[in-house]
Homo-oligomer: A and B are copies of this chain.
Amino acid sequence: MTNPTAAMIVIGDEILSGRTRDSNMNHLAKELTQHGVELCEARVVSDDRAAIVQAVRDLSGCYDHIFTSGGIGPTHDDITADSVAEAFGDHIDIRDDARKLLMDYFESRGVEATEGRMRMARIPDSATLIDNPVSIAPGFTIRNVHVMAGVPAVFEAMVASVLPGIKGGAPLLSQTLRIDRPEGEVAGPLRKLAETYPDVSIGSYPFNDKGAFGTNIVIRGQDGASVDAAMIALCEEFPNP
């Protein structure tokens, strides 16, 4: 059985200039892995309409789900919603359902409904809203693209809103063995193990612990019995890890 596939598009000049360290990709990756959706690719693009349109068009045809992060706030550099609408040739404007959400929220907090703030109610005609319990301004899903905020607390809340509606596959199982020997010494046996157990993926991650080199071996797969069998064989190969 093949799991559903996904890609992520992180949108923001601040990531590419190094000013901000993205954390949304790692959060989404973990959540998708647990949900049984395979994150196959991620792209970081700038706050540029052509770049966003291109990435959405390229990726939405290749994977079951696309998740975007960033660029749906109130300021002039937030152009994600308009760009995603353009990618699908959809019409976009302030939409009544999103406007009502925002107006109720602003009124309850005595906050002025500025022109900038109302930009956050710009939603493509064919999209459905994504719930934002943190700061109300919604994300949206259009076709297979889920458009979410960049602020980590809001992004994470939107992921939690979207995931239950997405059919997941078998969660990816993984087991790790720490071996206190450098990668170069475990490479040979690992290669043979990978050939013997083709239905699991065997990853090798070197580390340095207080000056001593070691290797974490991670065996991943959807079938628990296969992962177990490969781990047992690995432990037999390295009885004193």
Interface on A for B, CB 8 Å cutoff? 13-23, 25-33, 39-47, 51, 73-78, 111-112, 114-117, 119, 151, 153, 172, 174, 182-188, 190-191, 194, 201-206, 208, 218, 220
Contacts and interface: CB of A to CB of B under 8 A. Distances in A.
A14 B203 contact: yes
Copies in the complex: 2
A110 to B, nearest CB: 13
Nearest to A40: B46
Contact of A18 (B18, B26, B116, B188): B26
Contact of A185 (B39, B114, B172, B208): B114
A26 B20 CA distance: 8
Contacts of A26: 15, 18, 21-22
B114 A187 contact: yes
Given A14-B218, A15-B29, A75 B41 contact: no
Contacts of A29: 15-18
B119 A187 contact: yes
A191 to B, nearest CB: 4
Give the interface SS of chain A, mostly helix, strand, loop or mixed: mixed
A240 B51 CA distance: 36
B46 A18 contact: no
Given A75-B186, A114-B187, A39 B17 contact: yes
B41 A77 contact: no
Nearest to A15: B29
A17 B219 CA distance: 12
7 contacts: A16-B39, A17-B33, A18-B31, A74-B184, A76-B190, A77-B203, A112-B184
Contacts of A112: 184-185
A42 B16 contact: yes
A114 to B, nearest CB: 5
Most B C-beta atoms less than 10 A away, residue of A25, A51, A184, A185: A184
Contact of A116 (B28, B32, B111, B184): B184
A233 to B, nearest CB: 15
